Each structure stands twice: as structure tokens, then as C-alpha cells.
Amino acid sequence: MTVSLTIPAAEPEAPEARGEISRAVRERLRGDPARLPPAAVIARCSPYGEDLHLALHLCYELHYRGFAGVPDTLEWDPGLLGVRALLERRFESALRHDCRGPADVDEALRALLVEPADGHGVSHFLASRGESWHLREYAALRSVHQLREADPHLWVVPRLRGRAKAAMVAVEYDEYGAGRVERMHSRLYADLMADLGLDPSYGRYTNAAGAELLAVSNLMSMFGLHRRLRGALVGHFAVVETTSPPAASRMAAAMRRTGAGPAAERYFDEHVEADAVHEQLVRREVVGGVLEDEPALAPEVAFGVAATCLLEDRLGSHVVDAWTRGESALRTPLPPPS
């Protein structure tokens, strides 16, 4: 029997800056009231770059666990909120320009059910030829958001009504272990990390994660924190629940093939079973309920689907390309397993 870990509750250290913008935000968190990045600098930075996404991550984490030594009052600091709004505008504008998915929600969701014939994604790579170091790197990358797995989606609950709200809460109840702390999906992920010889502390590998992963993580926070983006958050949720079962099945096979350990297998086995049920509930009741109550949100739901796929594809390409070259997909390679 797998014994679930007790995860340290301490706040993580703020990750190191990656440019002028994230450096100014980090200095603000560390107590320098004069340091905030100029609007002109934000307006010309890369919308998918390291500096912007580390700065957004620093702002968003104030709404989750926070950082060691950073006062909780900074969560609603007007200066930081103003900077965050500029960063979000830069990011969202690029997404709306670059997303070219179907405008029809049903068509967008049907497309999620058709997997590429060439099988070039991360889970395909890991299932067919992944080694232990590949599995450890991917688990470390995903830990940036998997250790708070369902939290961003909960922000949408008070913004929904009727069928959509009831179904959303039903799915999230499973994500949080149906009332049992050892079955919470974030806890199962921490156990997976321990099986792979990784440190399961919250935020431990943020410094190693590049902009491709931070953008994926920031997207769900941005959607969750804005009522106007509730439709996009529902689209994001639909992608997660629809694409999870086949990918989780391949990941479970990779864990077994490499002898990763029972907790590592259990995490993905849980998602094969649970998310197959969730996918139908999300499509019929969450998405269907939202469009029944607020049909004008259909373009936003489709945008959420397209934006999620765009960023997940960018992350997958970055990871697989690095591994195919025999290189690490992390900014800094992992130490040997503990």
C-alpha cells in the first residue's frame, strides 16, 4: 500500500528574476516600494517570453501560497495589480491574435477527440521511448501547477449558474479527493514526485521551468481571476478533462515500463478512470449549461479551448525537441534522484 506523504506547508522562495520586468516585480515583493516596471517596457516585451511570464507568475502566486518573507497584504497592492493588468493585456492580446481554432464550440470540442496520427506529443514520446530522466523532468515541470491542480478552476464556480455550477462542483469534488486528503489529486502528484526521487515541496522547481510551462500555468490563473473570462476558463477546463484520459493511459504505461513506482502509476491510473467520466459531465453539463444560460459566451469558450491547445502544443514541442536532441527540457538540469 502506498503511504501518502506529509508535504511541507512553508511558503516557497520567490524564483529568480529573468529580466527587467520580473526583477522589478521581485524587488517590489522584497520591500522596495519604488521598483515597478515601466508600462513602455511591458508594452514591447515578448508576450510568450521568460521575463513576462516569470513576472506574471510572481503576481499570480500571491493569490495562492504566496512567497516566504512576502507580506500577504501585497496580494491587493494597487501598484502590483496595475503591473499585472499590463502583463495580462500583453499576453491576452497575443493569444487572441494567434489562436486560429474553430469558432464553433461543438466543433472545437470534437477536434479534441481526434489525436494526431503521427503521435508526436510528450506522452507518446514517454510511452514509447522515455527514460527515467525524461519522466523526472516532465514531473518536475508540471509540478509548478499540478501541486495546486484544481485550484484555478474553482474561481469560476461563483460565476456560474444552475447545471453548469452543479456539474463543475461535482467534478471538482473528485479532484479534491471526495473529502479524503490522501486522495486529493495534488497530493497524489506529490506522491508521484517522491517515487521519482523529486522534492514534492510546492514551488520547488519553478526556477527550472521555462516560459513555455509558465505560460500554461499563467493561462489558467488569468482565466480564473477574471469574471469576464469565465467562458474561456470553461473552455480550458473542457480541454483538460477531454484530453486527459488517453494521455494519462500512455503516461501510466511509461511509469510501469520504467519501474517508476506504485504512487507514480496510481496518479495516472486515477486520471484514466476519473477523467473519462469527467469528460462527459463537462461536455454535457458544464459547457452545455453555460451555453444554455449565457449563449453569448460561446466565442469565449471556443477561445479558451484554442488558447489552451496553443500553449500546450508550444510546451510539448519544446520538451520533445529538447529530448530528441538528447538535451534537458529544463532551464537547469535536475540533480540525481534522492
Q: Of how many residues is the chain composed?
A: 338
23, with CB counted inside 10 A (0-12, 13-18, 19+), is middle
Question: Among 45-59, 84-98, 111-125, 213-227, which stretch is predicted with the lowest mean pLDDT?
Answer: 111-125
Whole-number percent of the chain with pLDDT over 70 = 95
For the chain, count helices (H), then strands (E).
15, 0
Nearest CA-CA partner of 125 in 258, 261, 267? 258
Report the pLDDT value the prediction gives residue 118, as an integer from 0 to 100.
Answer: 61
Given a cut of 60, is residue 196 above it in pLDDT? yes
What 3-state class would DSSP assign to 248? helix
Task: Give the separation between CA 161 and CA 165, rounded to whole angstroms.
Answer: 5
Given a cut of 50, is residue 2 above it in pLDDT? no
Task: Give the separation between CA 205 and CA 15, rounded to whole angstroms.
Answer: 9
Please provide the average confidence, as pLDDT, over all residues in the chain. Answer: 92
**Superfamily holding 105-324:** Heme oxygenase-like (1.20.910.10)
Report the pLDDT value the prediction gives residue 3, as an integer from 0 to 100.
Answer: 45
The one-character DSSP state at 335 is: P
Task: Give the separation between CA 236 and CA 230, rounded to whole angstroms.
Answer: 10
Beta-strand ranges (E) seen in the chain are none
Average pLDDT over residues 133-137: 97
Query: Is residue 296 within 8 Å of 98, Cβ to Cβ?
Result: no
* CA dihedral of residues 30, 214, 217, 207 (deg, nearest 10): -60
The pTM of the full predicted model, rounded to 2 decimals, is 0.94
Handedness of CA 319, 324, 327, 333 (dihedral sign): positive
What is the tens place of the pLDDT at every residue in 236-295? 999 998 888 889 999 999 999 999 999 999 999 888 876 667 888 899 999 999 999 999
What 3-state class would DSSP assign to 237? helix
* CA dihedral of residues 168, 303, 99, 134 (deg, nearest 10): 0
What is the tens place of the pLDDT at every residue in 184-195? 999 999 999 999
Given a cut of 60, is residue 50 above it in pLDDT? yes
What is the tens place of the pLDDT at every residue in 155-174? 999 999 999 999 999 999 98
DSSP labels for 42-98? Answer: HHTS-TTSHHHHHHHHHHHHTTTT--TT--GGGGG-HHHHHHHHHHHHHHHHHHHHH
Query: Is residue 193 within 8 Å of 337, Cβ to Cβ?
Result: no
